[in-house]
């Protein structure tokens, strides 16, 4: 019994004793090895002055260089890394803009690779019922970045499971990935929006 208790208590201690940047590097290395992935996703948005939460879910496709496709019940969002297409199925309206002009667009590569060197990185304690092994928090060293903090959840295999970002206005964005399948054979035009006839197009480029 004493040996079992010792093991139970020593594992969290060893995790906390590791340098969070070392763990982050392993998460980065695992992510960098994947050419693409498909996952079920859930997103929640909660503004600082509201008690309600905006929720959405769907299928998330990702490919290197910030190419992604999100398919939801009434909406499709696609990026080829430069251009962003946001199609509302109900209103049959398509908004086209540049990725750089959309501050709320979630760039996985920026949060995983570009922002950490500009942040203070530390571990957070995870909840007891969480299956994830690590929670890493990023806090900007100055006020140049477009967020107050970012939290990254990963499991023992260093797969990213969840992001939480609090922007400069206090809005909380939660992005969860489940049933992740790596390196899939994706359609050739998966990250381009082929504009159908009969829809309204608003081009902001």
Asked whether residue 164 is assigned to any structural domain, the reply reads yes
Using the 8-state DSSP alphabet, how is residue 98 labeled?
A: E
Asked whether residue 12 is assigned to any structural domain, the reply reads no
- Structural domain including 54 reads 20-203
Asked whether residue 8 is assigned to any structural domain, the reply reads no
What pLDDT is attached to residue 140? 97
What pLDDT is attached to residue 59? 97
First to last CA, the chain: 66
Asked whether residue 151 is assigned to any structural domain, the reply reads yes
**CA within 13 Å, CB half, 11:** 8
pLDDT along the chain (205 residues), means of 10: 47 58 94 96 90 93 95 95 95 94 78 96 74 87 93 93 94 95 94 94 96
Look at the chain and report how many structural domains it folds into. Answer: 1
95/82 Cα distance (integer angstroms): 14
Asked whether residue 157 is assigned to any structural domain, the reply reads yes
131/148 Cα distance (integer angstroms): 26
Asked whether residue 49 is assigned to any structural domain, the reply reads yes
Sequence-distant (6+) residues with CB within 8 A of 187 are none
User: What's the CATH number where 175 sits?
Assistant: 2.50.20.10
Structure tokens at 4: 């079992």
Asked whether residue 155 is assigned to any structural domain, the reply reads yes
What pLDDT is attached to residue 6? 45
Asked whether residue 117 is assigned to any structural domain, the reply reads yes
Phi/psi for 53 (5° steps) reads -125, 130
DSSP element (H, E) containing 11: helix 2-17
């Amino acid at each position: 019994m004493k040996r079992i208790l010792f093991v139970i208590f020593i594992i969290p201690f060893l995790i906390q004793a590791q340098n969070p940047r070392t763990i982050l590097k392993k998460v980065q290395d695992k992510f960098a090895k994947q050419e693409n992935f498909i996952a079920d996703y859930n997103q929640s948005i909660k503004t600082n002055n509201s008690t309600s939460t905006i929720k959405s879910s769907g299928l998330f496709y990702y490919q290197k260089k910030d190419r992604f496709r999100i398919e939801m019940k009434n909406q499709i969002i696609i990026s080829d890394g430069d251009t962003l297409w946001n199609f509302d199925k109900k209103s049959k309206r398509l908004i086209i803009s540049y990725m750089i002009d959309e501050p709320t667009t979630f760039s996985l590569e920026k949060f995983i690779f570009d922002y950490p060197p500009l942040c203070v990185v530390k571990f957070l304690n995870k909840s007891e019922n969480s299956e994830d092994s690590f929670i890493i928090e990023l806090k900007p060293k100055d006020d140049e970045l477009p967020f107050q903090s970012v939290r990254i959840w990963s499991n023992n295999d260093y797969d990213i499971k969840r992001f939480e970002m609090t922007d400069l206005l206090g809005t909380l964005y939660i992005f969860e990935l489940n049933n992740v399948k790596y390196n899939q054979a994706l359609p050739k035009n998966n990250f381009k929006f082929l504009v159908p006839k009969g829809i309204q197009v608003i081009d902001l480029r």
